[in-house]
Amino acid sequence: MQTIRKLGWAAAAAAALMLMAAACGGGGSGNGGGLYGAGPATTAGGAAMGAAVDLRDTKLGQTLVDAQGRTLYLFEADAAGKSTCHGACASAWPPYLSSGAPQAGTGVAGGQLGTIPGDGGAQVTYHGHPLYYYAGDSQPGDATGQGLDQFGARWFVVAPSGDRIAG
């Protein structure tokens, strides 16, 4: 009986460790591809394409999203096209990265897109704001990071104008 109990606890501990490893694993790399299990975008020839920025109609209005519909955020602590989110912050708020020039979807001002050097590659910017995902969003369309005050400032979804949506 004692041996069975020990095996049960060992199995439970192993399962907990696997769940923790899976939860900590896909922080978002490449062009944002690691988040939610999506792979990086490539062309038929295998060369990486730039990250896409599109619009999505939400209860907050039209907001910026990636090509898979995942919500993009700005961080109020960022200034003058420079990211201030690193380390633990970047784990909770992974930067939206691109391996080429960012691509504008319908309704997105292509002239407002750019990149800056970031943790792990070129971070996509819009209207000068570095763009991020929120690790707490579990599926496309989620905006659970909206208005959160974390890592010294607030986080907001982004309007097509490039301004924060405070709603």
* pLDDT, tens digit, 9 for 90 and up, residues 83-142: 999 999 999 999 999 999 999 999 999 999 999 998 789 999 999 999 999 999 999 999
Q: Which two tokens stand for residue 151?
A: 């890592």
In a domain, residue 37? The reply is yes
Q: Which domain holds residue 113?
A: 28-165
Burial of residue 7 (number of CB atoms within 10 Å: 0-12, 13-18, 19+): exposed
pTM: 0.73
Mean pLDDT of 46-66: 88
Q: How many domains does the chain have?
A: 1
